[in-house]
Amino acid sequence: MEKFNIRCPDHYPMKCNLSQADKDYLMTPEKYKAFFIFQYREQDDWLEKTLESYFMQRTWRLFNAGKEGGTGTKFCNICRYALASDFGLASLTPLNYNVFQEIGLMQGLQKPVLYLLNPNRKEKLPFDIDDQIYIEHRNGETLEQGLDNKIPLLLDKLQLLSGFESERRERIRKKVDKLGPDARELLKGFVLEGYFFIPQAELVRHTTTNFGERYGQFVNELVINNFIVNEFGTVGTRKLVYSKFNENYRKDLEEILWE
């Protein structure tokens, strides 16, 4: 389950260790799942029931941490819904610091968030949302109208993002699967050691020095699969070819190579 194959924000560098039963509970077949982020106390009485009704009518799933079960720490109980969700619904009124933390978690996971606020409360937000997707609601009717108008925008954004990420990840996975075990081990070395920018003529010598004699012959596998890319430069009248690790692949490789 790729959604849970991440380093734990609370116990870095360990990875998420949710039980299989917890994962099965979260990964149900609804088309869309959303994490409902809000302050329980002093909340508008129409907010929760309007959202629950809206999702129920569409057979989508709304994760409400206050009504869900699960094992683990308090942060783990929040993080699991962020991981399992496709997007977030965050109520900014009344203001709440835990809500801000959970929004930050969703942003860190690169998941879109739809913001909800009641302008009648006249609370000044600590950050600007003019460039975000948000709904101003004064009652259940205006909230439902806002959902009808803004949810399609959010889903368009979500489909574009998830489609791109899924295809990118699958392409990189196929490249990794083509590698022999030694080339794969060499690639791990490049990912772990960070950014390389080396004259092409020195690349085999560099890998031999850092990874051992037997790895020099496997550099070409990484070049062919675009894990190592070339750049061109000049020193005086000399033209040089530099080889470097392809940083565009880092995020996916960090997960694929250590699954």
Go through the domains of the chain in sequence order and give each one's CATH number: 2-174 (3.40.50.450), 179-256 (1.10.10)
Q: Give me the pLDDT at residue 209, please.
A: 67
Burial class of residue 20 (count of CB atoms within 10 Å of its CB; 0-12, 13-18, 19+): exposed
Mean pLDDT by 10 residues, the chain (259 residues): 75 82 89 94 93 95 84 80 94 93 91 93 85 93 96 85 79 92 85 65 64 67 86 74 81 83
Rounded distance, CA 132 to CA 119, Å?
16
Q: Give me the pLDDT at residue 72, please.
A: 62
Q: Give me the pLDDT at residue 215, please.
A: 63
* Residue 94 in tokens: 């009344």
How many CB atoms are closer than 10 A to CB 128? 7
Q: Measured at the alpha carbon of residue 27, what is the angle toward residues 22 and 29, in degrees to the nearest 5?
A: 145
Q: Which residue has the tokens 């979500």?
A: 158
Q: Give me the pLDDT at residue 1, please.
A: 44
pLDDT, tens digit (0-9, with 9 covering 90-100), for 131-169: 899 999 999 999 999 999 999 988 888 877 777 777 888
Strand ranges in the chain using DSSP code E only, listed in sequence order: 33-37, 61-64, 87-91, 113-117, 134-136, 198-199, 228-235, 238-245
